[in-house]
Amino acid sequence: MRAGEPLLQVEDLRAYFYTRRGVVKAVDGVSFTLSEGETLGIVGESGSGKTITSLCLMRLVPQPAGKIVGGKILFEGKDLLQLSEAEMREYRGSKISMILQDPMASLNPVYTVGEQVAEPLRQHQHLAGKKLWDQVTEALRLLRIPSPRERLNNYPHQMSGGMRQRVVGGIAISCRPKIIIADEPTTALDATIQAQYLAHLKDLQRETHVSMIFVSHDMGAVARVCDRVAVMYAGKIVETATVRELFNNPKHPYTIGLVNSVPRLDRKIQRLASIEGQPPALLNLPPGCRFAPRCFAAIDRCRTEEPPRVEVGPDHYASCWRTEVASQMVEDGVAMRPTVAQ
């Protein structure tokens, strides 16, 4: 990797699912970068392509229906899509790890927690004996699991949901990868445990300097954890910006809808703001902008021409014909603003 290059660079990534009803374009031209020590948030509604994008980075798209049909995934300058399956196995776990959203689906109920955290260390670092178990204990300690040495002999069912989620995180960091992909890791946690887990992730990042891709539909969690944000809709990234810029000055109408749908404690409202309509079926995508059928600022051009990705501010990009108009409509109170109770 040359000096100044990002750790991860994704260029025009496309992943399709071939079904009897047609081709589902789950990821359709996604591009983004990730620097060392940075946290990139990927947000959007369910079905927008967030998880499939993450699975593409690990080369784990479900087969035979799913296939990565184009693009590049450059990790330290090397295209992961050009590696053989045997070569890619050396990257999974040791260079890039993933925390899946359901810990009970990630953990094997018949193996102890210690055995499951130890597996990637045996596979990638060939550790054994005392050195292996010291490393396993250290991985659990980094995730703030109390009495980590005693927990090695526990089974997943003997732990709470929050503890299981941290164990999955321990598996992900055990080999000290350079990138961790966290796919909605707080979905199954209550609010208190969720806040603790997000704090643990940030502490972990400070201690290990790992880069992170944080996948979520929770805008509040994204605001607490991320440095930059990529907003996905119908298989495409429609806006990217720093987290502060995205929340203070969203440009794409979809992003404006997401930000305004978050409840605010400083405002009394009669009804929460929402985005009307439903995301399009990926089997039958509309022409032009995919958000146009739900957009409050759409014009005829939006329904016929796909908008390009343009720079709307420093390190701030959006794919929309009407960014300035949409922002002005919100400022004027014409669209997408909650009604303040009297």
For residue 97 the two structure tokens come to: 């790890």
| Antiparallel, parallel or unpaired: β 179-183 and 96-99 | parallel
Whether the predicted pLDDT of 54 surpasses 80 = yes
pLDDT tens sequence across 163-188:
888 888 888 888 889 999 999 887 76
Angle between helices 129-142 and 161-173 (to 10 degrees): 130
Residues facing 39 on adjacent strands: 212
Q: Which residue has the higher pLDDT, 51 or 261?
A: 51
pLDDT tens sequence across 274-296:
888 889 989 889 899 999 999 88
Q: Are 223 and 243 in contact (CB under 8 A)?
A: yes
Rounded Cα distance, 149 and 24, in Å: 47
Rounded Cα distance, 115 and 133, in Å: 9
For residue 43 the two structure tokens come to: 């947000």
Rounded Cα distance, 227 and 239, in Å: 14
pLDDT tens sequence across 205-259:
888 889 999 999 888 889 889 999 999 999 999 999 999 999 988 999 999 988 8
pLDDT tens sequence across 39-50:
999 999 988 999
Our CA angle for 317, 232, 292, nearest 5°, is 85
Rounded Cα distance, 134 and 118, in Å: 10
Q: Are 118 and 87 in contact (CB under 8 A)?
A: no
Q: What does DSSP assign to residue 110? A: T
Task: Supply the pTM of this predicted model.
Answer: 0.88
Rounded Cα distance, 289 and 318, in Å: 12
Angle between helices 191-208 and 161-173 (to 10 degrees): 20
Rounded Cα distance, 61 and 88, in Å: 13
Map tokens 């930000």 to a residue. 259
Helix (H) or strand (E) holding 57: helix 50-57
Q: What percent of the chain has pLDDT over 90?
A: 52
Which residues, including other chains, have CB under 8 Å from residue 9's CB and lie 6 or more apart?
33, 34, 72, 73, 74
* Among 255, 170, 184, 172, residue whose Cα is nearest residue 214: 184
